[in-house]
Amino acid sequence: MDNTRKFPLILSGFWLKIIALLTMTIDHVGLAFDIEPFRYIGRLALPLFCFMIAEGAIHTRSFKKYALRLGVMASVISLAILLSEVVPMFKNNGLSMRNDGVIFIDLLLGAVAVYLLGQNKWCIKLLAILPLAFGVTSYIVSSYECVGCGHVVHWFPFFIRTQYGWYGILLVIGFYLAHLLADVFISYRSSLTGIDKKLYKGSNLERNAINIISVLILAAMTLGYFLCESLVADVWGTVSLYQIQLYAIIAGAFILLYNGLRGYNKKWFQYGSYLYYPLHIIVVGIIQMFI
């Protein structure tokens, strides 16, 4: 079995991260300066981040260190969101981030869910429902507050809420499940060809199967999120940008090109990719203040 990577598996994890960071930046620039086409491009960022979180949680040598990095960033962003609401300087300049949510909480909870699902005992696997339940609760609470009746849910503070409700967490879980479904496919293929299943490990066939299933899961969950958001908007009469989230499916084109390799991953880039999030938000915010 040939385990060397062949076209079209040309993108490593490094390049998926670069594309995710680039599209995220474009999205935030579009949000700050009301450039609608940029928001469409920005929809590609979340699926790519969630995909890499699932890959990272599966393959990391130390999940504790992996989760710690995500947890530290979640704490920093949560503090920034809290400060944007209580510090007059930020509020007076329209920089309050009360309704933004903390994207690193989405990613952290998704990673924790994958870790729990990867354990051997079923009693531990079932605990994966807790991160998802947190995301669902965050979604319901935030949607309720968007009704516009002035009701604020104090028992679920705004600075610990997920940015995408249940959607981001479920995407990470879905990308993990893609590995399990691909394994079922490989077992079936092995039974047909008589080739030892172990020989398929790391092959192009296995990688393509994981990628294709991941894209199908992305499409299904994005459509589900669209329908859910549409229902909320119709029932409560809220204004939402949920329609553009369908563009997230385009991220599947890059996932199909993923070769399963980490690629360039020096320490400066590893930690820099985390720090880039708050730093670029600050830069965009400063530019917005002076324009």
pLDDT at 239: 45
Rounded to two decimals, what is the model's pTM?
Answer: 0.92
Residue 286's alpha-carbon distances to 35, 38, 74, 289, in angstroms, are: 17, 19, 22, 5
User: How buried is 126 (Cβ within 10 angstroms: 0-12 exposed, 13-18 middle, 19+ buried)?
Assistant: exposed
pLDDT at 143: 82
User: Could you tell me which of 225, 248, 250 has the C-alpha nearest to residue 43?
Assistant: 248
pLDDT at 11: 96
Instruction: List Cβ neighbours of 263 (8 Å cut-off, separation of 6 or more).
Output: 12, 13, 14, 15
CB 256 within 8 A of CB 212: yes
pLDDT at 147: 65
Residue 32's CB: how many other CB atoms inside 10 A? 16
CB 23 within 8 A of CB 272: no
**DSSP code per residue over 145-208:** HTTSSS---TTS-GGG--SSTTHHHHHHHHHHHHHHHHHHHHHHHHHHH---GGGGTT-HHHHH
User: Could you tell me which of 228, 79, 208, 207 has the C-alpha nearest to residue 143?
Assistant: 228
Place of tokens 């070769």: 259
pLDDT at 16: 97
pLDDT at 291: 76
pLDDT at 200: 86
User: Could you tell me which of 160, 130, 169, 165 has the C-alpha nearest to residue 144?
Assistant: 165
Q: What are the domain boundaries of the chain?
A: 13-290
Q: Tell me the C-alpha distance between 221 and 165, whole Å.
A: 13
* Tens of each residue's pLDDT in the chain, 291 residues: 555 667 689 999 999 999 999 999 999 999 989 899 999 999 999 999 999 999 999 999 999 999 999 999 999 999 988 887 776 555 555 556 667 889 999 999 999 999 999 999 999 999 999 999 999 999 999 888 876 555 788 899 999 999 999 999 999 999 999 999 999 999 999 999 888 888 888 889 999 999 999 999 999 999 999 988 887 766 554 445 567 889 999 999 999 999 999 999 899 999 999 999 989 988 998 888 787
Q: What phi-psi label fits residue 150: left (phi over 0), alpha (psi between -120 and 50 degrees) or beta?
A: left
Q: Tell me the C-alpha distance between 231 and 235, whole Å.
A: 6
Lookup: tokens for 13: 């994890």
Q: Tell me the C-alpha distance between 211 and 219, whole Å.
A: 12
Task: Give the CA dihedral 238, 241, 244, 248, nearest 10 degrees.
Answer: -100
Residue 75's alpha-carbon distances to 45, 54, 71, in angstroms, are: 21, 21, 6
